[in-house]
A and B are shown apart, each in its own frame.
Chain A
Amino acid sequence: MSMETSLIELRERILAANAARAPLRLRGGGSKDFYGEALAGEVLDTRGHVGIIDYEPSELVITARCGTPLAEIEATLAQHGQCLPFEPPAFGDDTTIGGAVAAGLSGPRRAYAGAARDFVLGAHLVDAQGELLRFGGQVMKNVAGFDVSRLLCGSLGVLGLIAQVSLKVLPRPREEISLRFDADIADALATFHRWRAQPLPITATAWHDGAATVRLSGSPSALHAARATLGGAPLNDADARTWWLGLRDQTYGFFRDDNQPLWRLSLPATAPIDISGGDLIEWSGALRWLRSEAPAAEIRATASQLGGTAMLWRGARAASMFHPLSPIQLELHKRLKRQFDPHGIFNRGRLSAEF
């Protein structure tokens, strides 16, 4: 298979690192340097490998090299009335699409439209031996071979360099409206749950500081009908945009104050409110942000008991960032790592201190 010069350069660095057993730190724009356990190795900057390779709006697929700025992709899609439905957090201006897929994070729409991994159709991987491997493709349905492209989404680069990705895109909603309600946390959660079981065009929910906000997206008639059922006070377009972007990219004030550790709890949406109640809630209750000085072990035990996990998102790192894996999961992770990257050169220690 022929390789572009920019990819050949990356591959040569990988081959050299593998020969020298020297760890490499894969890095796009660096907007997610904070995300992961540890940063080790020499930086391998992906931003030389750029460009949208293929985009045909009627195919609902965009294919781009890993170093392509997320902003460029979003702007290109917007020109054709389309979007990345999982609202990937940018956390800055320099985010690359490769980094966004490797991190696998999703924004406010996640609970309603799906996560990053749900929109990954294909990926190219360069492994530690410098082999270029193509998984998935550009079509909507593909079950030939194991679903490695989705496995790479959220892999934080530990299996190799994600050289290019194909993502499913969707038409942008014809119209959007955001409504705000006064509600305490219990009321807000109960309301979110009631709405979820109804066919309503909801694409985001949040609760913070005594107010619940909900976003509706779709055709004008669907929004009209839903508004009549839901009530609430509409936000103007600029405020609505600022609000949801503030949650997506965490520019909103709540996320800025780093005095207390910030916990990110992924729980069943219907988990009760106790320690896990959270200070800010998204995804109908499935994502809860908590500022707390409580011991990590205590927070994690509660999250586990409720059927979820707790991530120490920001703040003094007295514990690991990620919720520990079960022994069998950890064993499988180590075996997969050994298969793809026997000398552990890719992002060593980033996903787990164990590999």
Chain B
Amino acid sequence: MPLAVALPKTAAQVREVLRVCHALQMPVVARGAGTGLSGGAMPCADGLVLSLAKLNRILELDPIACTARVEPGVRNLAVSEAAAPFGLYYAPDPSSQIACSIGGNVAENSGGVHCLKYGLTVHNVLGLRGYTIEGEEIVLGGGALDTPGLDLLALAIGSEGLLVVVTEVTLRLIPKPSVAQVVMASFDDVAKAGDAVAAIIAAGIIPAGLEMMDRKATVAVEPFVQAGYDLGAEAILLAESDGTAGEVADEVAEIERVLKAAGSTGCVVSQSEAERLRFWSGRKNAFPAAGRISPDYYCMDGTIPRKHLGRMLRAIEEMEKKYALRCMNVFHAGDGNLHPLILFDAHQEGEWDRADRFGADILALCVALGGTITGEHGVGIEKIGSMCVQFTPSEREAFFAIKRAFDADGLLNPGKAIPTLHRCAEFGRMHVHDGQLPFADLPRF
């Protein structure tokens, strides 16, 4: 439980709250919609929760400049809804887009199924305004494309509420493509589906979205949304093409050709907008579906080079046996961003502990395969141990150096995103495998 909660309505009030907290040396945790999947907005006991929910106005929508200036509490989907009458939309579309806030998206550098072609939050934010913990207003980027000095805008995006509290964001809007169609392909083997993803990219195609679901995932969502998935298939791929009618017709044909050559056992192409949305609805509802078939699930978010998708999926199958837990796979295959959902029951003795170790194993393998422990959900509190696997002590010290430059007293979202040496030593102790102590070089306190 936090000490206090502030619900400011204006940026000026945010500044005042920060000034007071800074003067009192009280920790501040910014909070958007609370949909984060890494515990980034989790309050701290001796601190204040600064909710940005009431800063929820779209300040300006400029259909000529193709930009929207919004407050951080605006919901992601609300931006595209407001832009729709002008034939424009905001491209990053996290599955949580009906609920999550733009401020949260900026803090996490969120992605969505369309970021393969249209980029992540960092590629679609032109500027922001916010305050440092000292209550100093900071303006980064804006309506112009280039700004002098270091790219502090890029640094602020994905900084998980550790550097600035964002009070206004300028978003890039893009024209809605005239046509979009999705190809749904079945595979009798998950590894083959993984290889098909690499084959599409290798053929010079960048689909608007390229997602994969394994059979556990399709079986879980189908009764829920009736998306029409092939439940006999071990895995399905959803590949979207968008653009002009001619362009889409050419690209869809090419995608089908590559998928068949990669061993797909069947391809269906959406024939109407309703059908296209139906194919996607299953993918977008995968997390809630997991919640329906299992009392608890633990969602991972590692990213690996695409070429290792098949290998990763086989390794996860082995881990299911090792930990005696089921894991369903839904992911942004085109980007190599995995979302294994480890299913468990927290009421069963030892299950959470096994799920936790299962997850840490997956992330360690992501790093070993040349990837990362988080592609879009952030480190927050949840993956803080795995940060010790990915970064050396000097690299983590560099992150602290940046933190100090913005927030010398460490008041903004303390204890999140970057682990201390002490924390890593503890993580090491928790994960002693085969009698080997990881990070034996680190001092243990």
Contacts and interface: CB of A to CB of B under 8 A. Distances in A.
Interface of A: 1, 56-61, 81, 104, 110-111, 114-115, 117-118, 125, 127, 131, 133-135, 137-148, 150-151, 153-155, 158-159, 170-171, 174, 193, 196-201, 218-222, 224-226, 266-270, 283, 286-287, 307-309, 311, 322-326, 328-329, 332-333, 335-336, 338-340, 351-352
Given A111-B145, A140-B335, A147-B159, 20 more contacts: A58-B306, A59-B306, A133-B394, A139-B304, A140-B303, A143-B378, A143-B379, A147-B155, A147-B158, A150-B151, A151-B154, A155-B150, A221-B249, A222-B243, A222-B244, A283-B145, A307-B142, A328-B138, A332-B405, A339-B401
Interface string B89-120: 00000000000000000001101000110011
Contact of A148 (B87, B243, B394, B402): B402
Contact of A58 (B65, B122, B307): B307
A268 to B, nearest CB: 3
A199 B178 contact: yes
A268 B88 contact: no
A199 B243 contact: yes
A110 B337 contact: no
B441 interface: no
Contacts of B303: 139-142
Contact of B244 (A143, A221, A323): A221
A45 B127 CA distance: 35
A225 B22 CA distance: 58
Of the listed residues B115, B336, B374, B405, the one surrounded by the most CB atoms of chain A closer than 10 A to its CB is B405
B154 A144 contact: no
B399 A146 contact: yes
Contacts of B201: 58-60
A332 B152 contact: yes
B150 A286 contact: no
Interface stretch (B26-34, B182-190, B321-329, B365-373): B365-373
22 contacts: A56-B307, A131-B398, A138-B370, A139-B305, A139-B335, A139-B336, A139-B370, A141-B336, A144-B390, A150-B154, A200-B175, A201-B243, A218-B243, A221-B250, A267-B143, A270-B65, A286-B145, A308-B142, A323-B148, A328-B138, A329-B149, A335-B405
B69 to A, nearest CB: 11
B144 interface: yes
B280 interface: no
B198 A141 contact: no
B253 to A, nearest CB: 11
Contacts of B169: none
Nearest to A326: B139
Given A58-B198, A193-B64, A335-B405, A325 B387 contact: no
A266 B147 contact: yes
B65 A309 contact: no
Nearest to A174: B204
A12 B364 CA distance: 33
Nearest 6 A-B pairs (CB), nearest first?
A221-B246, A268-B143, A150-B154, A141-B375, A58-B202, A339-B401
Interface string B149-176: 1111011011100110000000000011
From A118, A221, A283, residue with most partner B Cβ within 10 Å: A221
B247 interface: yes
Interface centre among A59, A143, A158 (most CB of B within 10 A): A143
A270 B62 contact: yes
A345 B392 CA distance: 24
Given A58-B198, A133-B398, A142 B149 contact: no
B290 to A, nearest CB: 21
A339 B198 contact: no
Contacts of B144: 266-268, 286, 307-309
A266 B145 contact: yes
Contacts of A61: 305
A80 to B, nearest CB: 9
A315 B176 CA distance: 43
Nearest to B115: A141
A198 B401 contact: no
B151 A151 contact: yes
Interface in B302-340: 303-307, 332, 335-337
A135 to B, nearest CB: 7
Nearest to A155: B150
B292 interface: no
Interface in B384-411: 387, 390-392, 394-396, 398-399, 401-402, 404-406
B372 A142 contact: yes
A131 B246 CA distance: 53
Contacts of A266: 144-147
B123 interface: yes
Nearest to A148: B398
B149 A219 contact: no
Most chain B C-beta atoms within 10 Å of own C-beta, residue among A324, A325, A336: A336
A185 to B, nearest CB: 17
A110 B144 CA distance: 12
Contacts of B155: 146-148, 150-151
Given A139-B370, A145-B379, A117 B154 contact: yes
